[in-house]
Amino acid sequence: MKDLIIETRGLNYYFGNQKVVDDLSLKVEKGSIYGFLGPNGAGKTTSIKILLNLLKSPADTVFLFGKEINSNRIASLKRLGSLVEQPAIYAHLSGEENLYNRCILLGINRTKAKEMLRLVGLEDAAGKKAGKYSLGMKQRLGIALALLSDPELLLLDEPTNGLDPNGIIEIRNLMIELATKHQKTILVSSHLLSEIERIATHVGIINKGKLLFQGTINELHDLSKPMIELEINDMARGQDFLEKNGYQILGIKDKKITLPFVSTAECGKLNTLLIQHGLTVYSIYQIRKDLEHLFLDITKNN
Amino acid sequence: MRSLIISLQSEFYKSRKTLAFWASILLPLVICGLIAFGFFSNADKIIKMHYPPQVLWMTFSGSALGVMGMLILPFYVIFMAFSVNNIEHKNDTWKSLFAQPLNKLSIYTAKYLYAVILIFICLFLFALLTFLSGHLLQALNSGFSFKGFSPVEILSKTYFKMFLSSLGILSLQFIISLVWSDFLKPMGIGFVGVIAGIIAATKGWEHAYLIPYSQPTLALSMTKSKNMDQIFTQEIYTSLIYALLFFIAGYFIVSRKSIK
């Protein structure tokens, strides 16, 4: 197994009596983009705050770079950059000044701040007060702040929140580049499966504080079982025909027949068959279970 | 130590464009300016009184000290304690501050020290500007008798005493502003505290020195009496002890503080 950059061992965390993180055992390998997936309130942000030692974890449950976090807080924090919830920005300072201030705290050269502004495309707005930035610009500045120290590990909590499609694509590409070209390890949380699917090499799914799934993206794909939805003019005949030809019908709902997806070639073959049999095919397309259904599936299996 | 210094640097960098920072410079400038202007425009009346030089200096510096000690200094200290912490509350930056590879004690100490430094600067400027404006008045109107006495020792002692007497309030208000993110709690508690402190101090309650908010008033009223030369009086000791205790308590709050 590769080096584990983040490892939690049976981590529990309570807010008062409420258990918000339940027996969480994260394993994030070096160089991976780990998609941390879960609905709002699942415990993602709490987990990230625990990884940053903002929330105190019990001893010997959280390990960053192979070392226990509570006893190696400063050494661990030196090697990571983070963006938690809304980016933490001083509204009365300009974007550039926010970065300079962080340069002071990290003891790094100011030229690095300029470089980061360029990287996130905020060069033109460098002198503008950060409080007047749009949500997307704030998010970029937050990412610039996280990247400033050139950390080995990035903890990004919903980094594409509030960005427009262009911004989302840019950040997505940036994350992929950082992981592939610069060997950085990235833990990125999201509540959107589609977002995670595009970038992550590994996925952890959390719900109500419990880790329901952890594995590579391919392992997740195997779980999410793609399907075909079929719309035809004569449902009864269609159903009859499909059953006779050995197709497994998963369900019929709203005048749509759901079948398991095998391959695109198989899809085409089915289309031809139906037409040859005198049926009119209105639509035939591949669908994937959305996150909600995937959750249900995964919880059922557990 | 290094992390304390860079935290202090950052505190300065963050706040150099805020009212909190400029207040410590503008406040003495405005008040001393107004008093000097008052003396200048009423020069004839004042000169006619034929004050001896020492008394003239006392009257002159007393106009600033009177308002300062009672009201402005306590409120200024409350405002400083509030604004140093509020810059993080307002921007929701506690989490990023504590996610930096810096010792929590240094971050906290730097904030506290920064507030102490601002108060020191403010009071130092008061003393300096009182001295300078006195001499300016002398230069503008030779009828004044400012040149006959050097107020340096008495001014520096009085303002240093006020500085020390304000540290108790600072530490207490610092904790309140650290724990609560809103404006009303620290200001409300501070306001009630200052009023109660003034009443306790001026009514001569024998244990008034135990109330942090009474200490500047007490320190000042002592200076007016015979104890001028003595810096470390009862209320100054108490203020310093409070400052130390609340500072330590504040650190425990910070080190256990979970950033939600």
Burial class (CB in 10 A: 0-12, 13-18, 19+), A137: buried
Segment B196-224, tens digit of pLDDT = 988 888 887 888 888 888 888 888 775 55
% of chain B beyond a pLDDT of 70: 95
Pairing status of strand A281-287 against strand A227-232: antiparallel
- What pLDDT was estimated at residue B172? 94
Tens-digit pLDDT profile for chain A (302 aa)?
Answer: 568 999 999 999 998 889 999 999 999 999 999 999 888 888 999 999 999 999 988 989 999 999 999 999 999 999 999 999 888 899 999 999 999 999 999 999 999 999 999 988 899 999 999 999 988 889 889 999 999 999 999 999 998 887 888 888 888 988 998 898 888 999 999 988 888 888 999 999 998 899 988 999 888 877 777 888 899 998 888 888 888 888 888 888 888 898 888 888 988 999 999 999 899 999 998 887 766 677 667 766 55
The percent of chain B in helix, strand and coil, each rounded to the nearest 5, is 85, 0, 15
pLDDT above 80 (res B42): yes
Which residues, including other chains, have CB under 8 Å from residue A115's CB and lie 6 or more apart? Answer: none
Q: Taking the alpha carbons of B85, B88, B92, B98 in that order, is the dihedral positive or negative?
A: negative
CATH 3.40.50.300 location in chain A: 4-222
Q: Which two tokens stand for residue B5?
A: 């210094």
Mean pLDDT computed over B155-161: 89
Confidence of residue B126 (pLDDT cuts 50, 70, 90): very high
Check CB contact under 8 Å for B91 and A88. Answer: yes
177-206 in B: which are within 8 Å (CB) of A? none
Extract the runs of DSSP E, i.e. beta strands, from chain B: none
Segment B77-125, tens digit of pLDDT = 999 999 999 999 998 898 999 999 998 889 999 999 999 999 999 999 9
C-alpha torsion B25→B28→B34→B39, nearest 10: -140
Q: Which chain A residues are within 8 Å of B14, Cβ to Cβ?
A: 90, 93, 101
Superfamily of segment(s) A4-222? P-loop containing nucleotide triphosphate hydrolases (3.40.50.300)
Pairing status of strand A62-64 against strand A67-68: antiparallel
List phi, psi (to 5°) of A34.
Answer: -100, 110
8 A C-beta contact, residue B114 and residue B84:
yes
Which residues, including other chains, have CB under 8 Å from residue B257's CB and lie 6 or more apart? Answer: B94
- What pLDDT was estimated at residue A16? 86
The ipTM (two decimal places) reads 0.86
Q: Rounded distance, CA B50 to CA A276, Å?
A: 121
- What pLDDT was estimated at residue A302? 54
Interface of A with B (CB under 8 A): 15, 49, 52-56, 74-75, 77-78, 82, 84-86, 88-93, 97, 100-102, 104-107, 145
92-121 in B: which are within 8 Å (CB) of A? 92-93, 95-103
Q: Which two tokens stand for residue B121?
A: 């600067």
Q: Which chain A residues are within 8 Å of B92, Cβ to Cβ?
A: 85-86, 88
For helices A95-106 and A111-119, the axis angle rounded to 10 degrees is 130
CATH 3.30.70.790 location in chain A: 226-289
Q: Rounded distance, CA A54 to CA A47, Å?
A: 10
B90 interfacial to chain A (CB closer than 8 Å): yes
Q: Which two tokens stand for residue B106?
A: 């240094």
List phi, psi (to 5°) of A35.
Answer: -85, 120
Q: Which residue is closest to B6 within chain A, CA to CA?
A: A105
Q: Rounded distance, CA A129 to CA B239, Å?
A: 40
Fold classification of A226-289 (topology level): Alpha-Beta Plaits (3.30.70)
Burial class (CB in 10 A: 0-12, 13-18, 19+), B4: middle
The percent of chain A in helix, strand and coil, each rounded to the nearest 5, is 40, 25, 30
What does the angle CA B190 – CA B233 – CA B132 come to, to the nearest 5 degrees? 75
DSSP designation for A234 = -
CA distance to A86, A107, A201, A273, per residue, from A99 (Å): 16, 12, 30, 62
Check CB contact under 8 Å for B101 and A75. Answer: yes
